[in-house]
């Protein structure tokens, strides 16, 4: 369970981090703490796996990656871990999940593939298929984005 101070820090880290030479100093100032304290608590949260990572998020469409496709893969349940690890190792795959299959929907693995074009996404899917031996798959391309935000775990 996170302390009140740790929750306050997460509130600052879950939004946009200041674009300054010393972003943790700016966060520390907002929290009324020292930069060393903020860095130390952040490292502690990372070490304890309360935070997975701190990362920059590329707005892929502005960077030229205009196509994204959800790869849906028919993998045998006993093979999902092996196949999932291989698929997750591809740089073009940003998400890789295992989910249950359902009658009429045999897919157990899902990958989000980003590319500049749909053809590029299809080429990545072919490479994934070859690397894993999974031949039964489909790619569902996005046609419209209704919402895309980072998760907010603690409101201000």
| Nearest partner of 124 among 144, 136, 139, judged by Cα | 139
Does residue 121 sit within a domain? yes
The rounded distance, in Å, linking the Cα atoms of 11 and 43 is 16
Give the pTM. Answer: 0.70
The rounded distance, in Å, linking the Cα atoms of 134 and 106 is 13
Contacts of 132 (CB under 8 A, 6+ apart): 73, 75, 82, 83, 86, 87
Residues 72 and 129 in one domain: yes
Domain count, the chain: 2
Residues 136 and 71 in one domain: yes
Residues 80 and 30 in one domain: no
Residue 123 sits at the vertex; the CA angle it makes with 122 and 124, to the nearest 5 degrees, is 90
Does residue 136 sit within a domain? yes
The rounded distance, in Å, linking the Cα atoms of 71 and 59 is 20
Residues 128 and 74 in one domain: yes
Does residue 114 sit within a domain? yes
Q: What is the pLDDT of residue 156?
A: 63
Does residue 28 sit within a domain? yes
Does residue 72 sit within a domain? yes
Q: What is the pLDDT of residue 146?
A: 86
Q: What is the pLDDT of residue 48?
A: 94
Q: Which residue has the tokens 């046609």?
A: 143
Q: Which domain holds residue 21?
A: 4-47
What tens-digit pLDDT sequence spans the chain (156 residues)?
899 999 999 999 987 888 899 999 999 999 999 999 999 999 999 999 999 888 777 777 787 778 889 999 999 999 999 999 999 999 999 899 999 999 999 999 999 998 999 999 999 999 999 999 999 999 999 888 888 777 788 776
The rounded distance, in Å, linking the Cα atoms of 46 and 42 is 6
Q: Which residues pair with 68 in a beta bridge?
A: 114
The rounded distance, in Å, linking the Cα atoms of 66 and 61 is 5
Is residue 115 a contact partner of residue 121, using CB atoms and an 8 Å limit? yes
Q: What is the pLDDT of residue 83?
A: 97
Does residue 117 sit within a domain? yes
Q: What is the pLDDT of residue 30?
A: 94
Q: Return the number of other C-beta atoms located less than 10 Å from residue 17's C-beta.
A: 15
Does residue 151 sit within a domain? no
């Amino acid at each position: 369970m996170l302390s009140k101070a740790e929750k306050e820090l997460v509130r600052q880290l879950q939004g946009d981090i200041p674009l300054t030479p010393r972003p943790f100093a700016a966060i520390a100032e907002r929290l009324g703490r020292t930069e060393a304290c903020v860095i130390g608590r952040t490292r502690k949260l990372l070490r304890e796996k309360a935070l997975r990572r701190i990362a920059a998020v590329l707005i892929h469409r502005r960077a030229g990656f205009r196509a994204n496709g959800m790869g849906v893969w028919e993998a045998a349940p006993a093979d999902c871990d092996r196949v999932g690890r291989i698929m997750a190792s591809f740089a073009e795959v940003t998400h890789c999940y295992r989910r249950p299959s359902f009658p009429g929907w045999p897919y157990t693995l899902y990958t989000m593939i980003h590319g500049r074009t749909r053809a590029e996404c299809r080429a990545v899917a072919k490479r994934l298929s070859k690397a894993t031996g999974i031949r039964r798959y489909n790619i569902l391309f996005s046609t419209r984005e209704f919402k895309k935000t980072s998760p907010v775990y603690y409101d201000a």
